[in-house]
Amino acid sequence: MKYLVMVFFLSLTQIACDSNNTDELADKQKRLVELQASIDSLIADKSCNGVGDCASIAFGSKPCGGPWSYLVYAPSNVDENLLQQLVNEYNQVQDEVNILTNAASDCAFVQEPQLSCESNECKAI
């Protein structure tokens, strides 16, 4: 009987932990969506006069390290301190999601893109 009671309480603990992890994961995934929307809005104006008006920033956090991609933006149209802050938070939260979900990735190195200003818009080549 004592064994059954112990198993029962361990089961409840596991259910509570799974529930907490599920809630934490859902909160973090919701935050990623919010951050992505804020970042996309912040860098939406990619207008430029030349390639010197363009920049990129590492974005996302692969489970085995490094960014998933690079975002292209026009620094003159962006509050770069805010962009850096939002991207840093996004990368940190995505790293936490990777840990919670035991995520895996291809571990391929993502190279920073070459930039161009085509039709007065910053783009990755």
| Average pLDDT for 5-21 | 42
d(CA 2, CA 97): 38
75, part of any domain:
yes
61, part of any domain:
yes
90, part of any domain:
yes
Domain that holds residue 56: 27-124
Query: 82-119, pLDDT tens digit by residue?
Result: 999 999 999 999 999 999 999 999 999 999 999 999 99
Q: φ and ψ at 43, to 5 degrees? A: -100, 10
Question: What's the structural domain count of the chain?
Answer: 1
State pTM to two decimals.
Answer: 0.81
12, part of any domain:
no
| Residue 125, SS3 per DSSP | coil
Residue 48 gets which letter from DSSP? -
Residue indicated by tokens 């007065």: 120
Tokens of 59: 């974005």
Contact 54, 48 (CB under 8 A): yes
10, part of any domain:
no
